[in-house]
Chains A and B, each alone.
Chain A
Amino acid sequence: MDTQWPRWEVFKQDTPHKPHQAVGSVHAADPEHALLTARNVFARRPQAVSMWVARAEDIYAWTQEEILEGLATAKADAGLGTACRYLVFRKTSHKRSMTFVDHVGEVEATSPEEALQQAQARFTDTTALAWWVVPADKVYQSDPSPETVESWFAPAKDKTYKQQQYYATVGSHISKHKRGRGVEDEE
C-alpha cells in the first residue's frame, strides 16, 4: 500500500497587488491539511496575504522546449468536454536563485491543451519559459476573511530572525580551516 500523501504545489501571494507565485510543495492528506502545512512551511515569517494549493497531478505543465517539440498540441483535439475555467501560471526567468511561476490570469477551455493555446495567445507581453494550467476547481484557497488573514499571516511581521552570520561565535570562520597543514591553532 502506498502510504505517501499526495504532493501539492503551493502558491503564495505576498501583497494584495502581486500575483500568486509557486513557491514549492508540501505533502498533505487533503486540501485543508495542505493549506495548513503550506502556511507553516512557507509563510511563518515571509510576507503573505493569501495562499493557494493544488495537487501536483492536477497541474498541466509544459516547458518552452516541450511546446516547440509539439508535445502540447498532441492531444489538443481530444478535448471534447464542456468548457471550464483554468488558472494560468507562467515562468519567465531563470535568473534568480528562486525562480517563480507566476499567476497571470484565467482562460476558459475544453481541455488543458486548449487552455494553453489560449494562454499563449493572450499573455504575450513576455517570453514564457514554462506554462502551468490548472482547472480552477482544483485550486484551493486560504480563507480570505480578515480574521483568518490576521491569524495566518499577520504574526509573521513580528517574527524577526537572525542571519546566519550572527551565529559566527558558535562555529569558526571557514578561513580558519584553510591554512596549511601542521600550523598550530593560535591560543
Chain B
Amino acid sequence: MSEVIAPTRTPAFEARLKKRYAAEKRFKALGLGAVGFAVAVLLFLLGTMFANGIGGFQRTVFEVPIDFSRVGLSVPDTDNDSVIIRSLQSQGLPEIVQFAAEETLGAEGAAQVNSQAWRDVAAQIIADPTIIRRGATFELPTSEDLASAFAGDGKRDLQPLARDLAERGLLVDALDWGFMQRSDATDPQLAGIWGALMGSILTMIVTLLLAFPVGVLAALYLEEYAPRNRWTDLIEVSINNLAAVPSIIFGLLGLAVFLTIFPGYRSAPIIGGMTLALMTMPVIVISGRNAIKAVPPSIRDGALAIGASPVQVVFHHVLPLALPGILTGTIIGMARALGETAPLLLIGMRAFVSTPPSTFTDNATVLPMQIFLWSDQIDRGFVERTSAAIIVLLVFLLLMNGLAIYLRNRFEKKW
C-alpha cells in the first residue's frame, strides 16, 4: 500500500512553489531594473547639464594690468552709478582700457578685447574708487570670436593668436559672477541671467498673489458652503477639466482677454502672472478641496457645538488643518507655472530684454523662455550659457519647493 502524502508535500506542489518564487524574483529584478534605468537617466541628465553648465558660469577673459596713476581719472561724488559711468566714459576710460590692452596684448590681441570691456572696469572702479590712484590687473572679456577660438572652434585664423596669448598666461577662463547680475545680450560673453530671473520672480509673485487666494477661497466655498446640486457638479467638472487644459490655450486666453483689456502691457510680468494664475488656480482648487475634505468632521462638529459661526469654523479650524495640503498643491501648481513657456510665448514674453525688469509692468522674459531663446542661438557661447541658465532655473525651483516644504511642516498638526 502506498504512503498517503499530504497535498502540500507532493512533488507537483513543490514544483509550483518553485515557480512562484521564480516569478517573485523576476518581478523584483524587473522593478530594480526600472529604478536603475530611471536613476541612470537622471544622473546622465544632471551630469551632462552640470558639465556643460559649469562652463556657462565662466567666460574667456584677458588678464590686463592697467595703471591709472598716470592718467588722473576722477570719480564724481555721487551715488548714481550711471552718472559715474557716463563721467568715466567722457574722461576717456574706454580709450585707456584699449591702450592698456594694446600694451599688454599687442595690436592683434587688443582688437579682440570686447567693446564693452571698459564697463567691467568702470564697475570695479565704482566698487573701489581707490583703484584710480594706483591701478590693478583687470579681467577684460574677449570678443565672442576669440572666446570660440580659445575653446577650439570658431574662426580658424584666430586660433594661433588664442594659443599664443594663452601660453603667455594672458588669456584664461575665469569664473563670471557677472552672469548672475547681467541681462540678455547678443554677445554670449556679455549675456547674463539676472533679467530673466527677475522676470520669473515678478511673474511668480503675481501668479501666487492671484492664484492662491482665489484658489483657496474657491475650494473653501465649494467644500463648505456650496449646496450639492447640478450647478456645483458642473463647476466641479469644469475645474477638473481646466486643470487638464494644455497650457498654450491659456496663453491664447491671455492674449485674447488680458492684452485686449491692457494693450500697453505686452511682455509684462503682470500679464504673464495673470495668465499663469489661470493655469495654476485649478490645481490649487482641486488639492485644496481634497485637503479640506480630509479635515475630520468631528473637529467641525466640536467647533459648531460650542457656538462657532460657520466662518469661524472655517478660519479657526478647517483652514489651519487643511493648510499643509493646500500648500502641497500650491507647490505643484507654482512649479509647473515656473517652468511654463508656451503660454508666455503668446503674450509676448519672448522679446529680447536687455534691462532687468524692476516693476510688474516692465518688459520682461522668464527663465524657461530665456533658455528657449538661448538654445535657439548659433553662437557657441550660448550653448554653455543655456546649460547655466537651466541650472539657475533648477536651483530656483529647489529653493521655492524647499520653502514650501518648510512652511508645510511648520503648519502640520497631528490629531
A-B interaction: no
